Amino acid sequence: MIRVDIDAGATQLVLVTDDDGLLHQAGFGSGVVGEPLAFPPILYPVAYPTYGQEVNREHALRITHADGATTTRLRAVDATEEPVDGGVLHRIELVDRAAPVTVTLCLRTWPAYDLLEQWVEIDAEQPVTVHRAMAAGLAFGGQAPHLTHWGGGWAGEWTETTEPLTSGTKTVASSGAVRPSLMRPAVFLYAPDGPATETEGPVLAATLLWGGDVRVDAEVALHGLSRLLIGHQDVGSEVVVDHFESPHAAFVWSDHGIGPTSRALHRFAREQVLRDGTGIRATVVNTWEAVGFNLDQASLMAQVDRAAELGTELFLLDDGWFGTSYPRNDDTQGLGDWAVDRSKLPDGLGPLIDHTLDRGLRFGLWVEPEMVNPRSELYEAHPDWVVHEPGRQRREERSQLALDLCIPEAREFTVDVITKVLADHPGISYLKWDANRDLTEAGTAAIERARATWDVMAEVARRHPDVGLMACASGGGRSDLGTLRYFHELWTSDNTDPVDRVRIQWGASHLLPASALGAHVTRWGQRPVAFGCAVAMSGRFGFDLDLTALDSDEWATCLQAVEDYHQIRDVVQQGDLYRLVSPVGSSHGAWAYLLGDRAIVFAFALDDTEMPPGPIELPFEVLDLTDRTPGRAGEVRPSIDGRTLLWPTAPSPSALV
Ligand code: DGJ
């Protein structure tokens, strides 16, 4: 019998073979490692179910073999383990009983984060068709399985759904090929015994570290047997290969509710994923919501002056600065022609960059390097570089097409766009990398396209290690912990109505630390600026509104917010998150960050329709409390015993920070 005990801290897995060599999952969760088996191995669920192995169950793997056979029956022949940086890599070799095909289950532990990373590798003597190769399939018992997932698309990112799982299979999947989290979630919570709370109940957080499409099948079969299969979207992704490595999944288990899974994922993201993830992020002023495509040097310089007076640290020039024959005056043209539009900026970007640096801010620039408008010089020169299917009508989204990064010249062009922009303007130290369409004709090369996109990102990161990079894909379309290893932070959502943002940032916090979540004060929703500041201060703070048009009260509010944020941002960006009151389906939300002996509590009243849900219970004792709510400086006192706070009392929406 082969027995493998996999110990990733709170997340543990025990795998055993039966007499016939079939691999079973004998335990999953906390405290299962090293425990004696209660039953013979054959009575435990199959660890990695294949097409043809089990009846009436979903499969994790389906291959058509070189001889045309469609079923795969695996037996374990070997298990090895080796120490890797901060953990152990287990490799369990399974071979097909008939065909010369090896499937290796790879399990990499990260005990410092209670995190288990899992993927499969397939090796065949002759090419096989891989239809489906999920990264993992975990079996569960439990009485009332529930799945929480997030989706919502543009401006609705991180819309939360929690649902009971009933007999059958619930599938949550994406199909945009290179922006997996715009339409579908980047993290899933599976709770076997009814929905977990923040502090109670067993729960599994599962995510795919993958910039392509994702698929999760949550299956409830007979006799309460459930399984969560997670991997890349297999529909349309068949490949014929002799070697295949699946995208990697990551799991965090908790017996004590959802909170610990998020804190572990945040630490993992900061320390192992995000570039300079433990660094403090700059406070940004962006131009998109302030001026859109309507750029000219004098008014941009005026924005820079105001940004400097506010005490912000990075000025970001968004879309609209480029295009020669096809000036970028709206989104219908110019993408691909990365030369400065001299009709807007007659002397180029140089004077604006110099002005920004002189005022003590860094300068950042928007690019969308993998995209092209048909109305562009680039497209006229290289119509064959775009993703398309010959003889079929091409689909445009936002009047644009995507460059086919599987074409080496297109890939090189994309990397060179950035290299050239940076070489021409050495004062630029930050880029916002946008991607405003899905791939609708990705075809069976969907996986290669996702990998080619990563190759481009990796090369950019390699060539420009000192340039900060924000991931944006019509907002939060690239929020996965695979893609983010090439970036410092992301644009959480174009929806910056602070009322909606409370729910969006709440959702995003299940996966991402606040340091990564770009959150800007804008005019969306026409809310009080003080409320917008409070919401944005709970993430990576910034502004995206016309700073020259703020009235004096608003100005004072923003000034105070920047000053306060710079005193608290280490706690927000690097602290441990405690979600306190869910704003999902309610009109109140609250969360806190804790770093050492300092904590920041954010409490939001979103409308006046409901009474506050009692005082806010804190997971720590408050000894000394200051109200940093922008526009409402003063002192609030913890009520009762120093572990509860009262909600903001101003008319909604309002905040207490
Ligand atoms: C979509 C992004 O999400 C926005 O922030 C902005 O950069 C626009 N694209 C610019 O076209």
What is the residue-wise DSSP string for 127-174? EEEEEEE-SEEEEE--SB-EEEEEE--TT-TTEEEEEE--SEEEEEE-
Ligand 1 closest atom vs CA 475:
3
Ligand 1 closest atom vs CA 473:
3
Find out whether the beta carbon of 284 lies less than 6 Å from any atom of ligand 1.
no
Ligand 1 closest atom vs CA 331:
11
Write down the pLDDT at residue 613: 86
Distance 339 CA to ligand 1 centre (A): 19
Q: Catalytic one among 434, 500, 564, 576? A: 434
| Confidence class for position 278, pLDDT limits 50, 70, 90 | very high
Ligand 1, atom 10, lies closest to the CA of 319
Choice among 150-154, 179-183, 424-428, 520-524 with the minimum mean pLDDT: 179-183
Catalytic residue status for 434 = yes
- Quick one: angle between helices 350-358 and 297-310, nearest 10? 20
| Confidence class for position 473, pLDDT limits 50, 70, 90 | very high
Distance 245 CA to ligand 1 centre (A): 33
Find out whether the beta carbon of 288 lies less than 6 Å from any atom of ligand 1.
yes
Distance of CA 591 to the CA centre of its chain: 20
How far CA 22 is from CA of 54, 91, 104, 213, 340, in Å, comes to 12, 15, 13, 30, 62
CB atoms within 10 A of CB 328: 22
Q: Are strands 159-164 and 101-110 parallel, antiparallel or unpaired?
A: unpaired
In degrees, rounded to 5, the angle at the alpha carbon of residue 228 between the alpha carbons of residues 226 and 232 is: 155
Distance CA 98, CA 520 (A): 58
Contact 616, 580 (CB under 8 A): yes
Write down the pLDDT at residue 178: 87
Find out whether the beta carbon of 318 lies less than 6 Å from any atom of ligand 1.
yes
Find out whether the beta carbon of 496 lies less than 6 Å from any atom of ligand 1.
no
How far CA 224 is from CA of 37, 221, 255, 328, 650, in Å, comes to 20, 6, 20, 57, 49
Average pLDDT, the chain: 95
- Given a cut of 70, whether residue 500 has pLDDT beyond it is yes
Distance 478 CA to ligand 1 centre (A): 13
| Confidence class for position 179, pLDDT limits 50, 70, 90 | confident
Which helix (H) or strand (E) segment holds residue 558: the answer is helix 552-574
Is the alpha carbon torsion for 63, 65, 68, 72 positive or negative? negative
* Interacting residues of 34 by C-beta distance below 8 A, sequence separation 6+: 5
Find out whether the beta carbon of 472 lies less than 6 Å from any atom of ligand 1.
yes
| SS3 per-residue string spanning 484-540 | HHHCCEEECCCCCCHHHHHHHHHHHCCCCCHHHEEEEECCHHHCCHHHHHHHHCCCE
- Given a cut of 90, whether residue 110 has pLDDT beyond it is yes
Distance CA 107, CA 92 (A): 8
Distance 379 CA to ligand 1 centre (A): 21
Write down the pLDDT at residue 635: 67
- Given a cut of 90, whether residue 223 has pLDDT beyond it is no
3-state secondary structure of 124: strand
Write down the pLDDT at residue 180: 83
Question: Which of 247, 124, 254 has the alpha carbon at shortest distance from 196?
Answer: 254
Distance 547 CA to ligand 1 centre (A): 19
Find out whether the beta carbon of 618 lies less than 6 Å from any atom of ligand 1.
no
Write down the pLDDT at residue 432: 98
Find out whether the beta carbon of 475 lies less than 6 Å from any atom of ligand 1.
yes
Ligand 1, atom 9, lies closest to the CA of 474
Distance 51 CA to ligand 1 centre (A): 43
Span 26-45, mean pLDDT?
97
Find out whether the beta carbon of 474 lies less than 6 Å from any atom of ligand 1.
yes
How far CA 552 is from CA of 273, 421, 556, 558, 627, in Å, comes to 41, 38, 6, 10, 21
What letter does residue 406 receive in the DSSP assignment? T
Ligand 1 site-directed mutation target among 157, 284, 288, 489, most atoms within 8 Å of CB: 288
Q: Catalytic one among 416, 494, 546, 570? A: 494
CB atoms within 10 A of CB 31: 10
Distance 474 CA to ligand 1 centre (A): 6
Task: State what percent of residues in the chain have pLDDT above 70.
Answer: 100
Ligand 1, atom 11, lies closest to the CA of 319
Write down the pLDDT at residue 165: 95
Write down the pLDDT at residue 508: 97
The tens digit of pLDDT for each residue in 71-89 reads: 999 999 999 999 999 999 9
Write down the pLDDT at residue 455: 97
Q: How many residues does the chain have?
A: 657
Find out whether the beta carbon of 582 lies less than 6 Å from any atom of ligand 1.
no
Distance CA 578, CA 601 (A): 9
Question: Whole-angstrom distance between the N-terminal and C-terminal Cα of the chain?
Answer: 57
Find out whether the beta carbon of 397 lies less than 6 Å from any atom of ligand 1.
no
Distance 343 CA to ligand 1 centre (A): 22
Ligand 1, atom 1, lies closest to the CA of 474
Ligand 1 site-directed mutation target among 491, 520, 522, 544, most atoms within 8 Å of CB: 491
Ligand 1 closest atom vs CA 494:
3
Q: Are strands 540-543 and 517-521 parallel, antiparallel or unpaired?
A: parallel
The tens digit of pLDDT for each residue in 581-638 reads: 999 999 999 999 999 999 999 999 999 888 888 899 999 999 888 899 998 767 677 7
